[in-house]
Amino acid sequence: MITASSENAVSALRNAEELFWINPLLNSAGIPRSALSLGINDITDAQQRLIRFAPLIERLFPYTAASGGIIESDLTPVPALQQSLAPRCRGKLYIKQDNTLPIAGSIKARGGIYEVLKHTEALALEGGILCSGSDYSKLADYRDFFSQFTIQVGSTGNLGLSVGIMSATLGYHAVVHMSSDAMQWKKDLLRKHGAEVVEYSGSYTEAVLNGRRASEASKQSYFIDDENSPDLFLGYAVAALRLKEQLERRQIAVDAEHPLYVYLPCGVGGAPGGITFGLKLLFGEFVRCYIIEPVNAPCMTAAIASGKGTDMDIGRLGLSGLTAADGLAVGRASALAYEYIKDIIDGCITVHDDKLIPALISAYKTEGIFMEPSAAASLCGFSRLCTPEALQYLSSADPLLNLDNAVHIAWATGGSLVPESERRRLIGGLEP
Ligand SMILES: *Cc1c(COP(=O)(O)O)cnc(C)c1O
């Protein structure tokens, strides 16, 4: 169903029916209407902090030397994949390859690692082992200092990998609270890096709640709160500044004649929310951002489309939360991300699970790009927007709409750490 009505949207969500909801309250200027505290200066501040930490990242993870310790991914044109997904779609499709982000192999390497580093900087300054202007790479010699402190996080898997690997490598006691959706291989990998993994039989919301409580009980413990953290959000938002540079380097214009369409898989909403916020600040009405969620776990779509906010969780819609997109298996959206994107997101798209694996296989067959099922949701978002039905709806709302010169970016949010056996299970014996 394509609709801008909240009643129709809620009824489609309840029925686990695929929905393309167009935001009727969109502020086309791309600025949230309510007074919120974060702005472009906070994003550039986060970017500067990542530059200060780059020598440390390079020292701890020498394979990041090629990028000088900056954790970034390529923007890759994918004409063959575009042809297979939506042969009649005009414009040009790219993949933002966060499936290859170093260290954590997913988009979580942006927010999760950023927040660990920000906390590390504060502790190190306070502890007198760092002063402004120091070479941050020396922090690699202070494992004993950091071992006094604990960092905890609740996760469906990938945030745990990002926070757990980074904190354990610095010497912290890392504790990851994992929901029942978390894959076994992610738990194994974390333990291999020296993180403690606490397993729950319940939902992601429950894992976060328990992690937060466990952390509050200890003075030396810091909790990375995926449901509320401005620092995670800002770490993700830095991607917008980096993408702008990449577009400029490729001489890809973003303006009235050349709109940019971005498809963002959404779990709790921090990653797609931060990126949307950053892109809207940079490109205003010339960028269109869509969040993509599985029909069984559409928590952000429910919050925004119902107009009721994050209390409208998937339990109230009678949905199971079960999905092959484990990174998106979230029942309740982040209140912080919701506030930032509710009136700047262009629309929300929900997809059936049975479309994820075929999309993932297409990307592998046509371009040799492997992504995990959650990331493949981005491709489904692109295909959905390119259906004749959706294009007709959009052009009736905007008669001047011309997608001939559009640039579409499917944000591939994870994949490179998926072990060989799991890859084979997903793509069979295919060769690219
Ligand atoms: C976490 C995750 C997302 C979504 O990020 P949120 O901040 O939870 O919305 C998308 N794809 C993958 C692979 C992820 O791990």
pLDDT digits (tens, 9 = 90+) for 416-426: 999 999 999 99
Q: How far is CA 250 from CA 72, 75, 246, 259, 295, in A?
A: 16, 9, 6, 15, 35
DSSP helix/strand/coil, 281: helix
Q: What is the mean pLDDT of residues 61-77?
A: 97
Q: What does DSSP say about strands 92-97 and 407-412: parallel, antiparallel, or unpaired?
A: parallel
Half-sphere exposure of residue 196: CA atoms within 13 angstroms, side-chain side:
11
pLDDT reported for residue 309: 96
What is the Cα–Cα distance from 259 to 404, expressed in whole angstroms? 10
Cα–ligand 1 centroid distance for 333 (angstroms): 12
Question: What is the maximal distance between C-alpha atoms in the chain?
Answer: 63
pLDDT reported for residue 430: 64
- Closest to 290 (Cα-Cα) out of 233, 344, 217: 344
pLDDT reported for residue 202: 85
Confidence of residue 182 (pLDDT cuts 50, 70, 90): confident
CA dihedral 371, 260, 114, 181 (to 10 degrees): -40
What is the Cα–Cα distance from 234 to 392, expressed in whole angstroms? 36
Residue 57 has pLDDT above 70, yes or no: yes
Share of the chain above pLDDT 70, in %: 99
Q: Which residue has the tokens 């963002």?
A: 264
Q: Which residue among 183, 264, 413 is best mutated to probe the pocket of ligand 1, counting the most ligand atoms within 8 A of its Cβ?
A: 413
- CA nearest ligand 1 atom 8, residue: 267
Inter-axis angle of helices 230-249 and 270-283, to 10 degrees? Answer: 50
Q: Which atom of ligand 1 lies closest to the CA of 271? A: 7
The residue type at 211:
G
Q: Which residue among 155, 158, 162, 348 is best mutated to probe the pocket of ligand 1, counting the most ligand atoms within 8 A of its Cβ?
A: 158
- CA nearest ligand 1 atom 15, residue: 327
- What region does 244 belong to: left with phi over 0, alpha with psi -120 to 50, or beta? alpha
Q: Which residue has the tokens 């494992």?
A: 143
Q: Which residues contact 389 (CB under 8 A, 6 or more apart)?
A: 2
Q: Which atom of ligand 1 lies closest to the CA of 300? A: 9
Cα–ligand 1 centroid distance for 379 (angstroms): 15
Residue 49 has pLDDT above 80, yes or no: yes
Q: How many residues does the chain have?
A: 432
For every residue of 313-342, DSSP letters joined together read -TTTTT-----S-GGG--SS--HHHHHHHT
What is the Cα–Cα distance from 241 to 43, expressed in whole angstroms? 8
What is the Cα–Cα distance from 382 to 355, expressed in whole angstroms? 12
Q: Which atom of ligand 1 lies closest to the CA of 111? A: 7
Cα–ligand 1 centroid distance for 205 (angstroms): 14
DSSP helix/strand/coil, 267: coil
Pair of tokens at residue 169: 């490598």
Confidence of residue 351 (pLDDT cuts 50, 70, 90): very high
Cα–ligand 1 centroid distance for 420 (angstroms): 21
**What digits encode the pLDDT tens for the residues 125-164?**
999 999 988 999 999 999 999 999 999 999 888 999 999 9
DSSP helix/strand/coil, 79: helix
**What digits encode the pLDDT tens for the residues 268-318?**
999 999 999 999 999 999 999 999 999 999 999 999 999 999 999 999 999
The residue type at 28:
S
Q: Which residue has the tokens 């390497």?
A: 109
Cα–ligand 1 centroid distance for 107 (angstroms): 7
Residue 399 has pLDDT above 80, yes or no: no
pLDDT reported for residue 386: 95
Q: Which residue among 98, 156, 186, 266 is best mutated to probe the pocket of ligand 1, counting the most ligand atoms within 8 A of its Cβ?
A: 266
Q: What is the mean pLDDT of residues 397-415?
A: 90
pLDDT reported for residue 188: 94
pLDDT reported for residue 429: 66
Pair of tokens at residue 363: 């990307």
Cα–ligand 1 centroid distance for 108 (angstroms): 7
Q: What is the mean pLDDT of residues 175-200?
A: 92
Q: What is the mean pLDDT of residues 164-173?
A: 98
Residues with CB under 6 A from ligand 1: 106-108, 158, 265-272, 327-328, 372, 374-375, 413-414
pLDDT reported for residue 34: 84
- CA nearest ligand 1 atom 2, residue: 327
- Closest to 181 (Cα-Cα) out of 202, 208, 206, 160: 202
Q: Which atom of ligand 1 lies closest to the CA of 269? A: 9
Residue 431 has pLDDT above 80, yes or no: no
